């Protein structure tokens, strides 16, 4: 299941919008408190320090007594990218779910965002939630138009288990029987997140940043779009969707623990540990122990298209923003930063100066 929870960091969870409605997000307005640390020598990017403060407040804004320590601060996965002409872009790896602990990360990156000319995200989820016409158009592609129902493509036992899960999460609707396996795979995942994890999209870093950008009236740019992501998620083989549904149902009991572990690593800002975790999830030995060769091929194609291929498109957008002369705060799923195929390495290999901003 750890392999599947990593997708939380690469694709925004938007299917819950269609089943549970749009839930309002609380307003956040944090202040930052930062300290300097040294970067280990093996890191592929240089280190940029950030200004210190007097440390008189904790991350939640409460005062600490002299001589006592507040809670361990969260550390963003944040880089500054500079081109040969001195143009800069900030690269921030987000998590698409969260809880009150997200506020500590938010408070540290907001001062950086405030100094930028624009915010770039995978897509503007705030605007999308208000665009009922576009949502209807995007979801229409998942409808079965030949008179069949999803149970025609799913073993009865798997269909029954899926229905029972969606009903427990209060997300089932009879109309969903007219939607395809791609829709059901995402709905099952959303239902498991609702039932088995305390983390949710209300505290997703992307949404918090977008709300703040609107508040300070800077443009919100889309690196991709909701239409792009929804279309991509609808382009895999039915065998892959059946595998995702079965995997999700079988691993539901450990889903919360796996997601908590991943979220804790993201909060820590420990780049090496975080990247190692993501790399280990897709190890050949782990996959070969649990899946057939045909299933491994489906999983590898799924991961490549959701991560590696999209990284190349995101790289092109980052280069475009750098060339514009504006300073853009580029915030996309943290999995897109990681390892040799991530944005940090792609930009480094392309000759840009990439400095890790440490706290």
What's the confidence (pLDDT) of residue 278?
84
214 CB neighbour count, 10 Å cutoff: 15
Q: Output the pLDDT for position 14.
A: 54
Query: How confident is the model over 102-106, as a mean pLDDT?
Result: 94
Query: In the predicted model, is pLDDT for residue 353 greater than 80?
Result: yes
Number of H helices, E strands in the chain: 16, 7
Range in 85-94, 289-298, 323-332 the model is least confident about: 289-298
SS3 assignment, position 357: strand
Can you tell me the distance from the alpha carbon of 129 to that of 15, in angstroms, rounded to the nearest whole number? 11
Residue-wise DSSP of 148-205: --GGGTS-HHHHHHHHHHHHHTT---GGGGGB-HHHHHHHHHHHHHHHH-S-BGGG-H
Distances (CA, A) of 96 to 5, 58, 112: 11, 24, 20
Among 267, 218, 257, CA closest to 115: 218
Which pLDDT score, from 0 to 100, does residue 280 have? Answer: 72
pLDDT of 157 over the 70 cut: yes
pLDDT at 60: 41
Predicted local distance difference test score (pLDDT) of residue 293: 92
pLDDT of residue 201: 83
Whether residue 290 contacts residue 81, with contact meaning beta carbons closer than 8 Å, is answered with no
Check if the beta carbon of residue 281 is closer than 8 Å to that of residue 3: yes
pLDDT(110) > 50? yes
Tell me if 278 sits within 8 A of 93, measured CB to CB: no
Residue 353 or residue 291, greater confidence: 353
pLDDT attached to residue 15: 56
- Cα Dmax for the chain: 70
DSSP per residue over 265-334, as a string?
A: HHHHT-HHHHHHHHHHHT-HHHHHHHS-HHHHHHHHHHHIIIIIHHHHHHHHHHHHHHHTTS-EEEEEEG
Q: Look at 29-33, 99-103, 184-188, 196-200 and tell me which has the smallest mean pLDDT.
A: 29-33
Given pLDDT bands bounded at 50, 70 and 90, which one contains residue 200?
confident
Q: How far apart are CA 119 and CA 212, in angstroms?
A: 10
Domain range summary for the chain, segments of one domain joined by +: 2-22+76-357
Distance CA 37, CA 131 (A): 44
Residue 89 in tokens: 């872009």
pLDDT digits (tens, 9 = 90+) for 13-66: 555 555 444 333 333 333 333 333 333 333 344 445 444 434 334 434 434 344
pTM: 0.83
Q: What is the mean pLDDT of residues 186-209?
A: 91
pLDDT tens digits for 203-240? Answer: 899 999 999 999 999 999 999 999 999 999 999 999 99
State pLDDT tens for residues 231-264.
999 999 999 999 999 999 999 999 999 899 999 9
Angle at 353 (CA atoms; ends 114, 91), nearest 5 degrees: 35
Average pLDDT estimate for 181-208: 91
Mean pLDDT of 303-324: 95
The average confidence (pLDDT) of the chain is 82
CA distance linking residue 62 with residue 221, whole number of Å: 34
pLDDT score, position 24: 36
How far apart CA 301 and CA 26 sit, in angstroms, is: 38
Of 38-47, 155-164, 183-192, 271-280, which range is least confident?
38-47
d(CA 271, CA 3): 18
Which has the higher per-residue pLDDT, 156 or 203?
156
Mapping DSSP onto H, E and C, the string for 72-108 reads: CCCCCEEEEEECCCCCEEEEEEECCCECCCHHHHHHH
Q: Is the pLDDT higher at 133 or at 4? A: 133
**Residue partners of 265: CB distance under 8 A and separation at least 6:** 273, 274, 277
What value does the mean pLDDT take over residues 64-73?
45
């Amino acid at each position: 299941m750890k392999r599947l929870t990593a997708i939380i960091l690469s694709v925004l969870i938007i299917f819950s919008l269609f089943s549970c409605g749009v839930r309002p997000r609380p307003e956040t307005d944090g202040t930052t408190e930062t300290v300097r640390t040294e970067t280990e020598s093996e890191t592929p990017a240089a280190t940029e320090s950030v200004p210190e403060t007097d440390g008189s407040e904790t991350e939640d804004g409460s005062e600490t007594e002299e001589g006592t320590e507040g809670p361990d601060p969260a550390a963003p996965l944040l880089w500054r990218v500079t081109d040969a002409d001195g143009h800069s872009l900030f690269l921030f790896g987000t998590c698409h779910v969260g809880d009150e602990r997200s506020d500590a990360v938010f408070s540290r990156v907001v001062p950086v965002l405030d100094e930028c000319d624009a915010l770039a995200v995978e897509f503007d989820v705030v605007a999308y939630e208000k665009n009922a016409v576009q949502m209807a158009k995007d979801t229409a592609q998942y409808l079965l138009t030949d008179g069949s129902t999803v149970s025609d493509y799913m073993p009865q036992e798997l269909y029954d288990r899926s229905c029972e899960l969606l009903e427990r999460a209060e997300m089932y609707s009879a109309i969903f029987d007219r939607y395809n396996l791609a829709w059901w795979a995402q709905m099952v995942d959303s239902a498991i997140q609702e039932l088995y994890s305390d983390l949710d999209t209300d505290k997703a870093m992307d949404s918090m940043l977008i709300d703040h950008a609107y508040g300070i009236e800077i443009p919100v740019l889309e690196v991709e779009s909701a239409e792009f992501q929804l279309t991509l998620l609808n382009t895999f083989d039915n065998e892959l969707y059946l595998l995702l549904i079965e995997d999700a149902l079988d691993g539901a009991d450990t889903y919360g623990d796996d997601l908590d572990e991943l979220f804790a690593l993201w909060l820590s800002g420990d780049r090496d540990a975080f990247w190692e975790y993501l790399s280990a999830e897709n190890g050949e030995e782990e996959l070969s122990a649990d899946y057939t060769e045909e299933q491994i091929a489906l999983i590898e194609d799924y991961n490549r298209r959701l991560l590696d291929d999209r990284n190349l498109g995101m790289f092109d957008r980052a280069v475009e923003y750098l060339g514009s002369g504006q300073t853009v705060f580029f915030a996309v799923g943290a999995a897109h930063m990681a390892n040799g195929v991530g944005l940090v390495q792609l930009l480094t290999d392309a000759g840009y100066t990439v400095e890790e901003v440490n706290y």
